[in-house]
Amino acid sequence: MRATLVFDLDGTLAETAPDIMATLNHLLVREGLDMLPVSAARQLVGAGARALLERGFKAAGRPLEAEKLETLFQAFLVHYLDHVAELSFLFPGVESALKGLAGEGYGLAICTNKPEAHSLALVEQLGILPMFRKVAGRETFAFCKPDPRHLTETIRAAGGDAARAIMIGDSRTDVDTARAAGIPVVGVTFGYTDVPMAELKPDRIIEHFDALPEAIRALAR
């Protein structure tokens, strides 16, 4: 059996910052604060919606107390689900790379800290949901990245074996998760991270999805 390939979602498979930031800005404006630019996503996105809100409101000049954070978190989930794929799009080369790898017999899965309902809705609206054997979100299991069990349980749920798996991600969280699970990791350079991918030292680095199949084959060997 070929290896199971487990992808992060935001910043790895898809450019989702415009919709995520639009929801954050919707809440900032509602609270009487100025909007943040989409370019701020690299410093804000990647650790889940609560962290996004904490970082976003702090950047806008109003740190959140726990109770207010929870209220805004629930509002964020509702608004974002309604607008999850209005501006988001797959990175160049994603669809052809996924089709090619699936055709070679690799199993495909997603492991993301995005809520499961939002992940499924996004992947479905982007037209690639049927390619994946499992889409695991933040609350799919009792733990989430960087806990390595989020990754290993995703692999298991996809019918794979953690001894024959590769992670593909864009951030320190993805690299740390893969390392903790003892699984090779491919890092992309175009995602959401405040630390350059080269500094995180993944097993392979790609700058475009056209380079993914060869990186996977090299690691699989």
With a cut of 70, list the residues of the chain below it in pLDDT.
46
Based on the domain organization, do 43 and 141 belong to the same domain? Answer: no
- Work out how many domains the chain is built from and give that number: 2
Of the residues 62, 82, 102, the one at which a domain ends: 82
User: Tokens 């609270």 identify what position?
Assistant: 31
Based on the domain organization, do 9 and 58 belong to the same domain? Answer: no
Distance CA 35, CA 29 (A): 6
Based on the domain organization, do 126 and 58 belong to the same domain? Answer: no
Q: What is the DSSP string of 150-217?
A: HHHHHHHHTT--GGGEEEEESSHHHHHHHHHHT--EEEESSSS-SS-HHHH--SEEESSGGGHHHHHH
DSSP β-bridge partners for residue 179:
none
Based on the domain organization, do 160 and 212 belong to the same domain? Answer: yes
CATH number of the domain residue 185 falls in: 3.40.50.1000
Distance CA 42, CA 207 (A): 16
- The amino acid at 13: L
Q: What is the DSSP string of 9-51?
A: -BTTTEE-HHHHHHHHHHHHHHTT-----GGGHHHH-SS-HHH
Based on the domain organization, do 68 and 155 belong to the same domain? Answer: no
Length of the chain: 221
Return the pLDDT at 193: 86
What angle (nearest 5°) sits at the alpha carbon of residue 207, between those of residues 203 and 213?
Answer: 65
Of the residues 31, 52, 82, the one at which a domain ends: 82
Burial class (CB in 10 A: 0-12, 13-18, 19+), 74: exposed
Closest-CA residue to 212 (of 85, 113, 90): 90
Helix (H) or strand (E) holding 7, with range, is strand 4-7
Domain range for residue 151? 4-15+88-220
Based on the domain organization, do 10 and 22 belong to the same domain? Answer: no
Check if 147 is active-site.
no
Return the pLDDT at 39: 83
Based on the domain organization, do 196 and 92 belong to the same domain? Answer: yes
Based on the domain organization, do 162 and 69 belong to the same domain? Answer: no
Residues above pLDDT 90, as percent of the chain: 90
Distance of CA 28 to the CA centre of its chain: 23
CATH number of the domain residue 50 falls in: 1.10.150.240
Based on the domain organization, do 123 and 68 belong to the same domain? Answer: no
Give the active site residue among 8, 10, 19, 170.
8
Based on the domain organization, do 129 and 204 belong to the same domain? Answer: yes
Based on the domain organization, do 177 and 137 belong to the same domain? Answer: yes
pLDDT tens digits, one per residue of 157-200: 999 999 999 999 999 999 999 999 999 999 999 998 888 999 99
Based on the domain organization, do 196 and 137 belong to the same domain? Answer: yes
Return the pLDDT at 135: 98
pTM of the predicted structure, to 2 decimals = 0.94
Return the pLDDT at 70: 94
Of the residues 55, 82, 109, the one at which a domain ends: 82
